[in-house]
Chains A and B, each alone.
Chain A
Amino acid sequence: MRIGDAKQSYEADEAIWTSQTQKLWLGFFLLILLVFPFVVDSYLLYLGCLVGIAVISTTGLNILTGFTGLISLGQAGFMGVGAYTVAWLSINTALPFPVTLVLAGLMAAAVGILVGLPSLRVKGLYLAIATLAASVFLHFIFAEWESVTGGMGGLSLEPAHLFGLTFQSDFMMYFIIVPLAVLMVAGARNVFRTRIGRAFIAIRDRDISAEILGINLLRYKLMSFALSSFYAGIAGGLFAYFYRVVTPESFPLSMSIFYLAAVIVGGMGNLLGGILGAAFMTLVPEALKLLTAALTPFYPNAPVFMSPMLEIIFGALIVGFLIFEPHGLAEIWHRIRRFFRLWPFRN
């Protein structure tokens, strides 16, 4: 807490902007995001796009798991719904990509509501398993409903078009993905200043108390599912435009676990945590790839050990963060900030 920061009204307490410095830093960050694609090489650009997609999906899952307390193993399935919607629409209709993306989000939200329905009766781990069942069914539909999804071969789609521009290169995709990611995170930040978002948090903290306070549990849980899968659907749609191939194997169960891990590593119930977690979990495998490439001249069979090392590091990150740093990267970030704020008075 900063000195001289006593808040005198509820609005002040709820405000997103508490200081000019904050605006300045955020503006600086957005400027970096804008300049980034012009100065980096294609590999970093590709990573930037991947992180952007991951941030959208992780923020969505954070709304559901971190803020509403409903654990979901279906995130990859919802992304798949979005990706297939985009692929199908862009092959069979002439809709421009903003429309297909929104439709992808809405389609995923509809499926999310359907999957959330058991939350009327079951909660906690039983709900997690219901979402697991949903992801099995979705995978089955992706693989078997050949007239729509193209079966195991999947669908290939054309690059996104708008106003005569073709979004084919990573460079062009960056300017769709990253602004959308910023927009959607800002949207999520604002949701938690409204009744809906507060209701989510109340449900997470104690569902029975929330119900007594007049929150319709089923309605708000379904809303949380819908919102979360809307984010997943958008992320899936971007995924489809980014890779331009969608197959059932693009969205395995391990991807759902990946996003859960990103939420946990970043910090559950913290939007900044979701962003940090998504970036961190996306970049760790890439860092390991670079390390392997660097080691290969000295240890020729280093590449053989990369895939198992990745599994071990992935698991160790989940276990390590949950045991030693349950509030995730966001907490580390706050600690660093506190250090600089209190320096040199603290010691």
Chain B
Amino acid sequence: MDWLFFGEISLAGLAMGGLYALIALGFVIIYKATRVINFAIGEIMMFAAYLFLAFAGGMEMSPWIALPLAVIGGSILGGVIEKTIIRPMLGESPISVVMVTIGIASILVGLVEFVWTADPQLLPNFLPREPVFIGELYLAPKIAYGFLIGSALLIVYLLYFRFSRGGVALRATASDQAAAYSMGINVRRVFNMAWVFGSLAASLAGVLVAATGGLSPQFGIIGLSVLVVVIVGGLDSILGALVAGVFIGWLETVAGAYLGGEYRMPATFLVLAIILVIRPYGLFGTHEIERV
């Protein structure tokens, strides 16, 4: 076994996993606050990445201006989706809400194809090009810097939700909506903020992932990998999203490198199936006790 190769692959996988963790965090924020499983998260990422393409490529802005603009665009999209489509579905069965997000995903794919056609696109490169070495191990610069930017936002989020007023409101809403409401927390605003913050994380990750791997209307498939991450980690666990994100990213990359690209999805979904059977609520998720 070639340990150097294994190390490099693992490193790339872990870095990719960091981005998965960031997307999964966005997913978990939305789920915690609103109990909505967001199948459209991959498409929100894709939308933000296309916005970046439009700002940086089409309008020739500096990427460092285009990046925040695209991320803000993605989070506005999340907020608008929540206000216009998810809010009226409040109280409907989870099946219906999931289907609504699938519908949104389809609409977003259509819109993107409408504006930017179905052809694959390359994002203008904005990350430094010098190769990165960690010890002996080479890491592609795009992945390395993507990981750094993603982790920075991840840490900001973790601190924000731990210490800020908004974070406390979010966690209070997650644990008991009625109690939070009677304590003067504006629950509806929390719902909206959760979608904005969740989409913001997804949007940044979307631009970073698209910068390494290219962009096409099929980009949203990545949402399936994120789904695996959050189920393995536990739908309502931020820690779970981080651990499972890094693990699934690593597993996917290693399986892809050693067994071939067609094994990437089955490998992660195998882990998913095992987790569903032995710990249905995920590694760190809350075990819900059903009361009649």
Residues of A within 8 A of B (CB): 65, 69, 71, 118, 121-122, 124-126, 128-130, 132-133, 136-137, 140, 143-144, 208, 257, 260-261, 264, 268, 304-305, 307-319, 322-323, 326
Q: Which of B47-55, B94-102, B145-153, B244-252 lies at the binding interface? A: B94-102
Q: List 30 A-B contacts (CB under 8 A).
A: A69-B95, A71-B95, A122-B280, A124-B94, A125-B94, A125-B98, A129-B227, A129-B272, A130-B273, A208-B290, A208-B292, A257-B106, A260-B99, A261-B99, A261-B102, A304-B117, A309-B114, A310-B110, A313-B110, A315-B102, A315-B104, A315-B106, A316-B107, A318-B102, A318-B106, A322-B100, A322-B103, A323-B85, A326-B92, A326-B96
Cβ-neighbour of B114 out of A125, A143, A312, A326 (below 8 A): A312
Query: Would A318 and B88 count as touching, CB distance under 8 A?
Result: no
Chain B 108-130 residues near chain A, CB threshold 8 A: 108-114, 117-118
Query: Would A312 and B106 count as touching, CB distance under 8 A?
Result: yes
Q: Which residues of A contact B270 (CB under 8 A)?
A: 133, 137
Whether A71 contacts B98 in the complex (CB less than 8 A), given A312-B114, A316-B107, comes out as: yes
Residues of B within 8 A of A (CB): 37, 85, 88-89, 92, 94-96, 98-100, 102-114, 117-118, 224, 227, 231, 262, 265-266, 269-270, 272-273, 276-277, 280, 290, 292
Closest chain B CB from A283 CB (angstroms) = 18
Report the Cα distance A313→B106, complex, angstroms: 9
Query: Would A133 and B276 count as touching, CB distance under 8 A?
Result: yes
Query: Would A65 and B106 count as touching, CB distance under 8 A?
Result: no
Whether A122 contacts B107 in the complex (CB less than 8 A), given A307-B118, A311-B113, comes out as: no
Query: Would A319 and B37 count as touching, CB distance under 8 A?
Result: no
Query: Would B280 and A121 count as touching, CB distance under 8 A?
Result: yes
Q: Which residues of A contact B265 (CB under 8 A)?
A: 136, 140
Cβ-neighbour of B98 out of A118, A128, A136, A143 (below 8 A): A128
Main secondary structure of the interface of A (DSSP, over half): helix
Closest chain B CB from A151 CB (angstroms) = 11
Chain A residue at minimal CB-CB distance from B88: A323
Closest chain B CB from A323 CB (angstroms) = 5
Whether A319 contacts B100 in the complex (CB less than 8 A), given A126-B280, A326-B92, comes out as: yes
Query: Would A137 and B292 count as touching, CB distance under 8 A?
Result: no
Interface centre among B99, B107, B266 (most CB of A within 10 A): B99
Q: Which residues of A contact B280 (CB under 8 A)?
A: 118, 121-122, 126
